[in-house]
Amino acid sequence: PMLKKSIAVVFAIALAMTATVASAQCNIAAYADPGGTQSTFNPTEGETFSIFVVLFVEEAAAAAAYSMTYPQGSSGMFFTGRFTGPSGDGLVIGEPANGQPTIAALGECVIGFDGFPVLIDEYQFVVLPGFLGGPVVLGPNPVEDPDFPVYVTCTDIKKPCDVGADFQVGPVIPTEASSFGSIKSLYN
């Protein structure tokens, strides 16, 4: 009987530790869609497109803090707008210049259980002529945590989060029409 109680206690402690570790895992990354399924995008010249910052976490989230760098310059992506939280009405603390830290308060408690993606931010860009592409990289907000992006639970607990794979914005696909003859001449 004593051995059974000891085994039961050890099993309960192990189960509790596993549940704690599993609930603390999260991943934040940039995607081409709010569902967090597309990690590449090839824009056309002059096209307006969005980059979505998505959090995958097994609990409810209310805010996130991170930094983001993206290709820019005289022939790059031009930032046109930002919408925070699933409703787009969240609060932004520190408007992100390229690579600068930002905090996004979602304006609501968003459930992330069962792999449900939590939309943190939508950034809108327009592609300028001659854009060569490049990665969109998320990183820590050093004011909140020097090593990891963080998210805040709906009970105001700040937790670190892993960064997912970089989002790749490909080179511009030309919008000029090409005749069949010009394409055929490439192979002669």
pTM, entire model: 0.77
Other C-beta atoms closer than 10 Å to the C-beta of 43 total 20
Q: What is the mean pLDDT of residues 34-55?
A: 92
Please state which of the ranges 24-33, 48-57, 98-107, 165-174 shows the lowest mean pLDDT: 165-174
Q: What is the pLDDT of residue 76?
A: 77
Top-confidence residue, 5 or 156: 156
**Distance, CA of 34 to CA of 119 (rounded, Å):** 6
Residue 117: band (very low, low, confident or very high) from pLDDT cuts 50, 70, 90:
very high
- The per-residue pLDDT for range 153-181, each reduced to its tens digit, is 999 999 999 999 999 988 766 555 555 55
Q: How far apart are CA 101 and CA 94, in angstroms?
A: 7
pLDDT at 182: 56
Q: How far apart are CA 132 and CA 69, in angstroms?
A: 16
Tokens for 123, please give them.
């950034």
